[in-house]
Amino acid sequence: DGGITQSPKYLFRKEGQNVTLSCEQNLNHDAMYWYRQDPGQGLRLIYYSQIVNDFQKGDIAEGYSVSREKKESFPLTVTSAQKNPTAFYLCASSRGHPGYNEQFFGPGTRLTVL
Amino acid sequence: KNQVEQSPQSLIILEGKNCTLQCNYTVSPFSNLRWYKQDTGRGPVSLTIMTFSENTKSNGRYTATLDADTKQSSLHITASQLSDSASYICVVIFFGNEKLTFGTGTRLTIIP
């Protein structure tokens, strides 16, 4: 998993609750990303950050929020506004722009809404 | 719209046999094309990265090929092993937006 850790591995949430997924990397990468993976679909980008204290929305940012206060950390909060949050969430990092630098993925967090 | 389609959706083969997975992409040009292996419940791991100027790249028993004329890439697995059971994802990075466009993957199962 290339020096990227995600926690927890499994997470259960009641409807109406906010939950935060952790992502930490020790690769000294500037860029970090959050993806969502659903059965039968390709990975979809939620948020990305190219540098500390800066982040941009991806294709499906509604109902999610992030912060990037430290280079090593990029936590994702799934808010109650996300109507269908049950999915497998993957964090990734790269040295620079993902178009020109390899992305390394974490082991993922499976979120289930009860 | 840039799209990446993979086939077959799933594949079952006997241990020791070879197999080929397909990735078709629409719209070009692109800057590079990647193949990832994803074990169940794990994150994807990079197998190969090819630029638009390359037409083949190997990583052990995995060989990726690229035909820019037909807009198709193939991942060939030689002498399959039980540990090859996984999903294989094709990713294309298109010029212009440098976004990663992920295919839906092929689920490969190797049986003894």
* Shortest distance, CA B79 to any CA of chain A (angstroms): 25
At residue B86, the pLDDT reads 97
- Reading the block at residue A92, the tokens are 């990734």
Below-70 pLDDT ranges, chain B: 1-2, 27-28, 96-98
Q: Which one of A99, A104, A105 has the shortest CB-CB distance to B98? A: A99
User: Is the pLDDT confidence value at A1 over 60?
Assistant: no
Q: How confident is the model at residue A32 (pLDDT cuts 50, 70, 90)?
A: very high
At residue A37, the pLDDT reads 96
Buried-exposed string A84-99: b where 16+ CB fall within 10 A, e elsewhere:
ebebbbbbbbbeeebb
Query: What's A98's DSSP letter?
Result: T
Q: Which one of A40, A100, A106 has the shortest CB-CB distance to B43? A: A106
CA distance linking residue B68 with residue A73, whole number of Å: 38
Chain B residues within an 8 Å CB radius of A46: none
At a CB cut-off of 8 Å and minimum separation 6, what does B62 contact? B35, B47, B48, B75, B76, B77, B78
At position A44, the amino acid (one-letter code) is R
pLDDT in tens, A54-109: 999 999 999 999 999 999 999 999 998 888 999 999 999 999 888 788 899 999 99
Closest by Cα among B32, B60, B59 to B48: B59
At residue B1, the pLDDT reads 67
| B102 inside 8 A of chain A by CB | yes
Chain A residues within an 8 Å CB radius of B45: 2, 105
Q: Which one of B32, B44, B93 has the shortest CB-CB distance to A105? A: B44
Q: Which one of A92, A97, A108 has the shortest CB-CB distance to B42? A: A108
The mean pLDDT value of chain A amounts to: 93
β B100-102/B19-25 pair status: unpaired
* Shortest distance, CA A24 to any CA of chain B (angstroms): 14
Chain A residues within an 8 Å CB radius of B98: 97-100
3-state secondary structure chain B: CCCEEEECCEEEEECCCCEEEEEEECCCCEEEEEEEEECCCCCCEEEEEEECCCCEEEECCEEEEEECCCCEEEEEECCCCHHHCEEEEEEEEECCCCCEEECCCEEEEEEC
